[in-house]
């Protein structure tokens, strides 16, 4: 199956063979959001900063949001979202200047974005200002100690798309410094089925990276990846997580 948007090596897309693991890993975070933030979603004003292809923002809308604003910098992607998900408000925006009225948002979501931002602290201050008094912010990012073993705090990641990668303590400090409260960091983990496969075959992420870099065909990997779904992940504590999910409330 083809998709009108190209794979970039960083953005995942729905319905692409070989992308099932990465898409499911993203989708699992949205499913957790949809069950955890029902109060903010139903009838609420939702903003996704860095919405990518739009499937996640549309999933949040389906819960019952009054409006969902999908912010994305890439112009062809914004146009695609407008065509593919017409119920969303798709707007081209540079997240260095969040184009949202202060005190207007019930839930602000930014998944797998903060590691890309040059002025993350200013972005988080804008997020805090955009929230209503009872509003919530949720950000996700790769868990540096797992995603980039050996990479220290503040060191430049080897991933060319990333400006900086974070651990749970750094996220707490960043969100607190932005004036947000009740900061909690959860973790997105592999579930039992992926754990069992890795026990037999080795790390699934490392195997996929090797394949992307031109390793010999890996039928076992390809067959398993094609079966991975959102339910193969779970949200628990931050230690050892694949991705971090940090939540906070308006100041």
CA distances in angstroms from 151 to 31, 46, 170, 171, listed in the order given: 30, 34, 14, 16
pLDDT of residue 11: 72
Total Cβ atoms within 10 A of residue 14: 16
Give 10's contacts (C-beta < 8 A, 6+ positions apart): 159, 161
Which pTM does this prediction carry? 0.94
Over residues 161-181, the pLDDT tens digits come to 999 999 999 999 999 999 999
Rounded percentage of the chain residues whose pLDDT exceeds 70: 98
Residues of the chain where predicted confidence (pLDDT) is lower than 50: none
For 207, phi and psi rounded to 5 degrees?
Answer: -65, -40
Per-residue tokens: 149? 């073993």
Domains in the chain, start-ordered, CATH in brackets? 20-191+234-249 (3.40.50.150)
Total Cβ atoms within 10 A of residue 248: 28
């Amino acid at each position: 199956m083809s998709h009108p948007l190209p794979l970039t090596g960083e953005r995942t897309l729905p319905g692409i063979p070989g992308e099932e693991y990465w898409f499911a890993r993203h989708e699992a975070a949205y499913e957790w959001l949809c069950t955890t933030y029902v109060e903010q979603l139903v009838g609420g004003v939702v903003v996704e900063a860095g919405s990518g292809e739009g499937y996640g923002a549309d999933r949040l809308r389906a819960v019952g949001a009054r409006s969902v604003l999908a912010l994305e910098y890439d112009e062809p992607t914004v146009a695609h979202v407008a065509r593919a998900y017409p119920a969303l408000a798709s707007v081209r925006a540079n997240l260095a200047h969040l184009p949202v009225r202060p005190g207007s948002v019930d839930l602000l979501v930014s998944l797998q974005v903060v590691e890309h931002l040059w002025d993350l602290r200013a972005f988080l201050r804008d997020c805090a200002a955009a929230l209503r008094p009872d509003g919530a912010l949720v950000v996700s990012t790769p868990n540096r100690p797992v995603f980039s073993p050996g990479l220290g705090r503040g060191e430049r990641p080897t991933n060319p798309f990333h400006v900086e990668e974070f651990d749970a303590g750094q996220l707490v400090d960043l969100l607190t410094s932005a004036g947000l409260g009740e900061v909690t960091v959860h973790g997105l983990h592999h579930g039992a089925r992926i754990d069992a496969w890795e026990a037999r075959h080795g790390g699934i992420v490392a195997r996929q990276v090797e394949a992307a870099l031109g390793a010999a065909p890996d039928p076992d990997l390809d067959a398993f990846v094609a079966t991975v779904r959102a339910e193969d992940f779970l949200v628990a504590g931050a230690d050892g997580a694949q991705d971090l999910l940090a939540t906070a409330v308006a100041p």
